[in-house]
Chains A and B, each alone.
Chain A
Amino acid sequence: MKKNKIVWFPAITMLLAGLMLISSCKKLKDSAEGAKLIINYDLIETTVDVQFYDAETGELIGRDGDASVMAKITGPAKDGVIDITGVQHQSMQYASQRGMIGLALIPDATFTPSPNKPITFNIVGNIPGYLATSQKVTLVAPGRTQVRVNMVHLDNPPQGVSVARESNIGTAVAGRVENPATVQTPGGRARIEIPAGIVLRDAGGTPLNGSLDMTIVHFDNTQEEALASFPGGLMPSVNRLNGSTEEGMFYSAGFVAIELTDASGRQAATFEEGTLSLEAVINPQTYNPETNSLVNNGDQVPLWSYNENTGEWTEEGMASIVQTGGGLTSTVELTHLSYYNFDWFYGDYCYEGVPFMFNATNTTCDCYVMQGAMYRQVDNSFMTYVYMWVCGNEPVYTQYAPAGIPVKIVWENDYYNNITIAPESQPTLIDDLCSGTPVQVNVISQPSSSITVEVEVYCVSEPNVVIRPSFGVWYRESGGWNWRWGEMVNGYAEICDVEVGQTYVVGIYYDNEWYETEVTVTQDHYSYVDFALPADVCSEVFGY
């Protein structure tokens, strides 16, 4: 009996202990229930938001979803350009949606911009019915950049842009033009003469054949709308005659885009056995920086060709400005076909310019956009659009700015309802964008409402992995077309200047697609913490 007791007691205690351990293990197994792996998806450090506008209407191209600009990325840093989720298209082509594209730079040392290592690429925009164009983008610091590209609709050009589109101007047989032809824009702003016998080939060397169609577009440099839609912009990098590459600013005396195509759509690029003659009218109100006065008979102006497919400017030589019966004109002989620009080039610039300090009268949102247009003071000539992402009292530095040139910035006042520029800062005058003196800009900001949004997304295949995304988001009032930009970082965004009770359209651009939804704001905080990503997005971005 004693032995039995001795055996029985430890057996019971072991059983009890075992049960407790088993119970504990079961509970341990469930200990992670409900817990998730939450990931901040904030890999992207530099974003470039591109908007394509119709130069005449001022509307985003395809704002109703009926058209899309194909943007090809070219230039030195093209391999570093991705979309905002980290996906890079092999073709380096991205389609705009609602007129917008969200691009970014690969966040590694190679493509992290700095004043010592600027990152430069071109956005080449193409859409049927519009003149192909490109915009050079130079980034000298991580952060967000907004790029506006104005495109000229050939049937509805803006003021200062004249277009000639003529079909069947002649015939080419094995590249050789059979009869001479002359095409000129309305008002004779630009005229092209094609001699008989000249041989036309495309960029690949294939001769053009059949009937020839020609498009000539002349840009008047004294008209702001025309300058603002100048293909390539006015702050380019150029290939000089001596083979060097320089960056700087154009003082334009006019621009002519020429396209000559055959029946099968091949575009002429090179000539043999002759040249084309281009005569362009030079507006007498053109400012000549060489003489510091208006342009005159006998002035010389450099001629530049522009490859709209690569965004490269190449110096072709000098052109003479002469007084003719039609006014001041310049006539040049073209040995190849591209876009041509009569410009004085000014090569003094800085990559990081003056800091702008925005002094708001009231507390505004964490960050807001200030945008405007920059003009030279000397001739009131449009230079570039300005976008500044203002966060609190932090200075905003100008990037890639011409040095020593007095400029003024005219700020847009209708971007927000409750943030406007103070009268004393409109326009803001700056003597030198490359000086170290901060530029003070006074902003009147009414106490405005804003909402905060939290977003967490997941893939159905991995429901326990939650992603807090970082991306740019666009929003506008329902019925309006003024898209404003907001930024979500790690799943959190403060959307500025939004009023409770109003309905807004909110959209994001991802992988050539546009996703938008209409939201009536009823509260000051929204939480979307259980949002399933489409399976194809999960597969492409995360691989599951």
Chain B
Amino acid sequence: MKRLIIIFFASVFGFSNLQLQAQEMQEERPFEYAEDDQRQGIGFGLGVKLSTFGPGAEVIAAINPKLHLRLGGTYFKYKYTHDDKNIDINGSADARLGSISLLANYYIARIFFVSGGLLYNMNEVDLNGYPTKSITIGVVDVAPQEIGTLDFKVQPGSSITPYLGIGLGRSLSKNNIISFAVEAGAAFHGKPKVELNATGMLEPTGSEEQRLLLEDNLSSLNIYPMLNFQLSFRFL
């Protein structure tokens, strides 16, 4: 029961608190396993995480005390609908964050690690705008469908994205069931790809020239920052 209470609080509270608790627990050794180096070095667990790629989960394999392999996935989708009656234009923004990751953590110190690997990057932002009412040019009423729509989509330049980061904590605890880690890094997704589509009178806005211009403007955003908070549970 005490373990469950601690797991619950560890899930709820932030990293510092948890780390402190974990250290205290470590000092108290509440979840003590056998002091077996081999067991400490090799293990298997599951993690939940919250990152700039969205919330997700991971399968973690510690193949030796210094090297952990992580196979995980994240997904988050957010839709924002804009309805501005003042300008009679509606719009929506669909942001999708997501990845499937295969990473390796290498511990350069007890709780400091560098992380690297590949992500299948599913990030995508889709902005869409369309008029809701006719406009009048001179005495000519132009219906919304004649005015047209504008759709702007940004995706990573490369779906397979190398990742490099540094972290603190344990993706899989040596001695305990529960562990926590935080890491910061960057996913190198290359120059973002832009899709630009327009219909109706707005059709030339979606020209290839404009698309390339936007792509060029975004070209420096070739790194996606990663910040990841992870809570892991060791099974073996």
Contacts and interface: CB of A to CB of B under 8 A. Distances in A.
B227 A14 contact: yes
A86 B140 contact: yes
B225 A38 contact: no
Nearest to B125: A28
Interface string B106-144: 000000100000000000000000000000111111100
A543 B136 CA distance: 9
A514 to B, nearest CB: 19
Contact of B221 (A3, A17, A24, A108): A24
Nearest to A10: B182
Interface stretch (B38-46, B54-62, B67-75, B201-209): B201-209
B221 A28 contact: yes
A468 interface: yes
A30 B226 CA distance: 22
B182 A42 contact: no
Interface in A1-16: 2-3, 6-7, 9-10, 13-14, 16
A17 B201 contact: no
A35 interface: yes
Given A30-B217, A106-B139, A39 B201 contact: yes
A32 B201 contact: no
B16 interface: yes
Given A10-B168, A541-B137, A17 B220 contact: no
Q: Which of A7, A31, A82 has the most CB of B within 10 A?
A: A31
B168 A38 contact: no
Interface in A34-70: 34-44
Contacts of A14: 184, 227
Contact of B141 (A30, A108, A541): A108
A43 B137 contact: yes
Q: Interface majority SS on B: helix, strand, loop or mixed?
A: mixed
Nearest to B112: A9
Contact of B217 (A16, A32, A36, A540): A32
A107 B214 contact: no
Nearest to B14: A10
B205 A541 contact: no
Contact of A43 (B140, B184, B227): B140
Contact of B227 (A2, A17, A106): A17
A31 B219 CA distance: 9
A468 B200 CA distance: 13
A275 interface: no
Interface string B148-168: 001000000000000000111
Q: Interface majority SS on A: helix, strand, loop or mixed?
A: mixed
B112 A38 contact: no
Interface in B17-60: 19-20, 23, 52
B6 interface: no
B205 A24 contact: no
B228 to A, nearest CB: 10
Contacts of B19: 6
Contacts of B167: 13
A43 B186 CA distance: 49
Contacts of A7: 16
Contacts of B236: none
B86 to A, nearest CB: 15
Q: Which of A40, A85, A88, A541 has the most CB of B within 10 A?
A: A40
B213 interface: yes
Nearest to B221: A27
A20 B223 contact: yes
B201 A41 contact: yes
Contacts of B15: 10
A327 B1 CA distance: 129
B166 A13 contact: yes
A17 B223 CA distance: 11
A42 B201 contact: yes
A10 B202 contact: no
A156 interface: no
Contacts of A42: 201
B218 A39 contact: no
Contact of A20 (B20, B186, B213, B214): B186
Nearest to B207: A38
B204 A40 contact: yes
B168 A9 contact: yes
A6 B16 contact: yes
Interface in A484-512: 490
A528 interface: no
B201 A106 contact: no
Given A39-B201, A82-B138, A86-B140, A21 B182 contact: no
Contact of B184 (A16, A27, A28): A16
B210 interface: yes
Contacts of A16: 184
Contact of A540 (B138, B201, B214): B138
Given A42-B201, A43-B137, A468-B204, A27 B218 contact: yes
B217 A40 contact: no
B16 A10 contact: yes
Interface in B180-218: 182-184, 186, 201-205, 207, 210, 213-214, 217-218
21 contacts: A3-B20, A6-B16, A6-B168, A9-B168, A10-B182, A13-B183, A20-B223, A24-B221, A27-B218, A27-B220, A28-B218, A33-B217, A35-B213, A40-B204, A42-B201, A43-B137, A43-B142, A86-B140, A88-B138, A541-B138, A542-B137
* Closest 8 A/B residue pairs (Cβ): A86-B138, A13-B184, A20-B225, A86-B140, A87-B138, A38-B204, A88-B139, A17-B227
Interface of B: 15-16, 19-20, 23, 52, 112, 136-142, 146, 150, 166-168, 182-184, 186, 201-205, 207, 210, 213-214, 217-218, 220-221, 223, 225-227
Given A21-B225, A31-B217, 17 more contacts: A13-B182, A13-B183, A13-B227, A17-B184, A20-B225, A27-B220, A31-B218, A34-B213, A39-B204, A43-B140, A43-B146, A82-B138, A83-B138, A87-B138, A106-B140, A468-B204, A540-B138
